[in-house]
Structure 1
Amino acid sequence: MKNRSPNAPSASQHNRRAFTLIELMIVIVIILILIGLLVPAIGAVRLRAQQSQVRTEIANLDAALTSFKADFGIYPPSYIKLYESGGASWDQHSKALVRKMWPQFNFALPKDINNDGDQTDVFELNAGECLVFFLGGVWDTTNKTPNGFSKNPANPFLVATGGTNRRGPYFEFDSARFTDIDGDSAAEYKDAFPGQQVPYMYFSSYDGRGYRKSELPSIPALGINMTEVYHQGTPGQTLGPVYKPKSYQIISAGADGQLGFGGNYDPDKNFPSTPDDRTVEADNITNFSSGALK
């Protein structure tokens, strides 16, 4: 009987040979292909979750605006000037709106709305700022938290630390998402998309009297240049009826942070790329569509 050489490989050792270079390259290519398929799928799932979060938040803003109207008789305006000075000559638009919300408002009474120690400021609130101010109210004495409005009918803008003698706030804002894109010390509110710079847009139809083009914001540096609220109709054609004609429109710029120009929107037609590029509006989220615009 012959003895096996101690250095002779067994059959199992023959079967456990090393991968060749070509086999390793094939495995790597397969792994890269799988990663290439998996990463977009994960990104799509994450985007849908973020969009769902913003849609839910817009629904909560809807509920807050409904509560505000129940207390004050109208939906908040999307443009108003507030004057601290008791001797100020209020513009008729602002004065009429304040009278509707607070019929006993004392226009002759000096106020310190921002609690800065003087009573001379004028606050010009636009679309996104009105959403924050009327749903949040005046800031508390620390200037950190919106604290609703005083129940004092003559001076609802009275600043307080807290207490129960107040109406609102109507929405629980995340203070980390406040912004001030026009640098006027009036806060706007960003949606929940990571890295978002453009705040929610809020436009009032003034209970059916009509949306006002003069209230549409224009900040080219941030890509904010809306020329119309949203209308029903084929993009590029004559404007159709507005969406939400008797209430308001809330618009999120979506994950790309670009609002676009607004105008006609048809859920069955794509946004055109010419003469103005409206394709950036395809991911906007609004209170008149169940999902992102498309």
Structure 2
Amino acid sequence: MKAYIFPGQGAQFTGMGLDLYEKYPKAQELFEKANDILGFRITDIMFQGSAEDLKQTKVTQPAIFLHSVIMSKMMGDSFKPDMVAGHSLGEISALVANNTLEFEAALKLVYKRALAMQEACELEPSTMAAVLGMEDELVEAICAEIEGTVVAANYNCPGQLVISGNLAAVEKACEVLKERGAKRALILPVGGAFHSPLMEPARKELAEAIEATTFSIPSCPIYQNVSTFAVTDPEEIKKNLVFQLTAPVKWTHSVKNMIADGATEFIEVGPGKVLQGLVKKIDRSANTSSAEV
């Protein structure tokens, strides 16, 4: 069974999507439609912008979404997922792939999500950090000891967990984690504390936007970051998508459940190969590849 997986923030690069734009008239049409919907030429930033330009949350999220979704649409009849999943933002790309969301509605949702998250980031100094070489339970216990807000945010693969919270608490947690035996505890170059309680203001805004969007019955199950199990009920999908902003991304659990349910091949659709690497660390025997058009 084919599992198609969709990356989140961090996978962006200058020039992303340009090959699709130049090669496929249909892709060009979708990119131009996206420029109209967003009200600015995101293609200019994707194709020629600096790494700094691309790093802004309001640019990064729609850029990665567009690259992933337009690529999947250019694959034609060969694109037949048996199951889908996405890492954080990638979950919305996955929901277009399994026909839960229409392209335009999903792009509007991604942009509202990005703006809401950027606003939430500006309320107080906050960040995320990658913790390597330590058991999840120990990382969680140490975070619970720290004054302020710092929580486990991304369970990426065994031995790799990302923490998230206000700046002082994350910095203190990194010190303590290294003292207690973590191989590395490294502050990440991100805009704020994603997947933590500090995203609560964004969650409320996103909930309203999701409620105003049409969700159809999917053509195959999605394994969502919050629940980690196969979901096909549109109402449940909506609820999980709202909670995702303040809840951790349980990628390790999702991949294990996809394998248990019969996934034999994981195909990453969009920029980069980060998710393939994580899948291999979760299960060495898993077949992984990048989507090709």
- State the TM bucket, normalised to the shorter chain: under 0.3
TM (normalized to structure 1)? 0.26
More helix by share: 2
Higher-Rg member (1/2): 1
TM (normalized to structure 2)? 0.26
